[in-house]
Amino acid sequence: MNVVDRDFAFMMDLFNCILVIKNNVGLDSYSEYEKAVKEQFLENTLYNFTPDDISSIKRVIYPVWCGLCRCPANEFPDENVLESILHEIYHEVYNSSFSYERWEEKYIKEHPQCLGCDYILDIAYNMIRVYVAPTTDDDVSSPYRLSEIDQLYEDVKEYKSSKHAKDMLEFISRFPDIAPYNAMLVHMQKPGSQFVATAKKWKDYYNRIPRPGARPLVILKNFGPVAFVYELEDTEGDPIPDNIRPFRAEGDVSRVTLRNLTENLSREGIRIVYQDYGTSFAGFIKKAAEAKKTMLHVSKNKSVQVELRYEMVINNNLGDTSTAATIFHEMGHFFCGHLREYEEKYLPRRVSNLSIAAKEFEAEAVCWLVCKRLGIKNPSEDYLNGYLDHNERIPDGISFDAVLKAAGRVESMLYNGYTIRKEIIPK
């Protein structure tokens, strides 16, 4: 039996165990369910479990639980059909050729009698993706992935502690060379990591290779599902240079960075307005009373008309660094779904479920991360430290998924080539 088939057999045994427990035991909470599955699986299989296997088991159980909770038992397909689906998806995911949209269309077409077909596909995909690679990019991921990640933070008590939040944010700030979301994935897979890189980068830049048996960490890949990286301690070769992770002294934002940031606001449909205010006011973002149309330069001989549907008002008396930080904060509100006047489908709508404290915490966390990773003076430092040091738990409803995605989006606005939001181009 090759490695792929062995892994699949392992996963099918686990999945069958999960189904048996779900169908025969009345468990009200995820923690009870997880405990029952682990005990049942560990006691009734012949595998020689390693700590990594135990970790894989725990990661698989959660998305399956979420899917099972959504799909009534009478909407489940035949067991043999489900195993066939799992097997096909597993091999496609393993070979990086899986497309969620294609599979959803195929499965619904072949199984129209199954009312819960989208839930079944979600269960299968999430389970396999977690086992083969913990997560994936939005274009091929399960449509339920965001809520499940946030549900994990709700269910695991330690994740809601201020100490965990502070440790995670500090960790992410130390990895400016990878996206914030990827830094979180590294933190969840291997807390305490110092530096990560692909095997190719370790070889080409540092003449080091992964140690025999080293387990790669999985991160998201631009324009593709996943990439694999190795932590410093899991490599061997030439001595590590002292500047592998250079210290970033806090300074001021560059004029080029600020110019890119302000110009890219229009590519998200936002008009920036500078007005005179007192020193206690920084800025705010709101829905424009009327969308204004403007032309944006796309290439040497091409421009495109867009609608500026939002206005960001900035205190004209702020310095460059404070202006940048204010924009980071307001874009945190924008990308995290805090504006009550949202109409655009591409933006999350979370305002009705969040307290003012939760919205401010998320926006300040976005600002803090971007400033820290960029190496500029951080006005959110006092707020976050003050809150985390004086409160045992973070505000209810906080979405780290939303915060990290928002921080990543804001960081991408600091450079040329930011893509124009297609939804703001008049049809």
**DSSP string over 73-97:** GGG---HHHHHHHHHHHHHHHHTT-
pLDDT tens for each residue of the chain, 427 residues long: 444 455 556 666 666 666 666 555 555 566 676 777 667 666 655 555 555 556 656 656 655 665 555 555 555 555 566 667 667 776 676 666 666 567 667 766 776 655 445 555 655 655 555 444 433 333 333 333 334 455 555 555 566 788 888 888 999 998 988 889 889 888 888 888 989 999 999 999 899 999 988 888 888 776 556 788 999 999 999 998 876 765 555 788 889 999 999 999 999 999 999 998 887 788 899 888 888 999 988 777 888 999 999 999 999 998 999 999 999 999 999 999 888 766 677 777 777 677 888 889 999 999 999 999 998 888 788 888 888 888 888 888 888 888 988 999 999 999 888 889 888 988 7
- Contact of 231 with 196, CB cutoff 8 Å: yes
The first and second tokens of residue 278, run together, are 């007192």
Indicate the domain borders of the chain: 3-155, 157-244, 255-424
DSSP assigned state of 251: B
Q: Is the pTM here over 0.85, yes or no?
A: no
Q: Which residues of 263-275 are buried (b: 16+ CB within 10 A; e: fewer)?
A: ebbbbbbbbbeee
Amino acid at 343: E
The first and second tokens of residue 51, run together, are 């700590």
CA distance 276 to 215: 55
Give the sign of the dihedral formed by CA 163, CA 337, CA 411, CA 96: positive
Q: Give Cα 305 to chain centroid, integer Å.
A: 31
The first and second tokens of residue 177, run together, are 């060379």
Q: What string of DSSP letters covers 178-208?
A: S-HHHHHHHHHHSTT---EE-HHHHHHHH-E
Note the pLDDT of residue 227: 80
Note the pLDDT of residue 66: 57
CA distance 148 to 150: 5
CA atoms within 13 A on the CB side of 186: 29
For strands 283-299 and 302-315, give the pairing. antiparallel
Note the pLDDT of residue 202: 93
Backbone phi, then psi, for 426, in 5-degree steps? Answer: -55, 140
Note the pLDDT of residue 329: 94
Angle formed at CA 395 by CA 390 and CA 401, multiple of 5 degrees: 120
Note the pLDDT of residue 144: 30
- Contact of 409 with 335, CB cutoff 8 Å: yes
Note the pLDDT of residue 11: 62
The H-assigned helical ranges of 138-254 are 145-155, 162-173, 180-189, 199-206
- Which residues are CB-contacts of 209 (< 8 A; sequence separation ≥ 6)? 199, 202, 203, 235, 236, 237
The first and second tokens of residue 262, run together, are 């302000």
Backbone phi, then psi, for 116, in 5-degree steps? Answer: -100, 30
Note the pLDDT of residue 406: 92
Strand, coil or helix: 157 = helix
Note the pLDDT of residue 142: 33
Strand, coil or helix: 271 = strand
Note the pLDDT of residue 90: 67
Note the pLDDT of residue 407: 93
DSSP assigned state of 376: B
Question: Which one, of 394, 302, 307, lies nearest residue 357 by Cα?
Answer: 394
- 19 burial (CB, 10 Å; 0-12 / 13-18 / 19+) is middle
- Contact of 318 with 277, CB cutoff 8 Å: no
- Contact of 108 with 148, CB cutoff 8 Å: no
Note the pLDDT of residue 365: 93
Count of Cβ atoms closer than 10 Å to residue 35 Cβ: 13
CA distance 31 to 156: 9
Backbone phi, then psi, for 304, in 5-degree steps? Answer: -135, 145
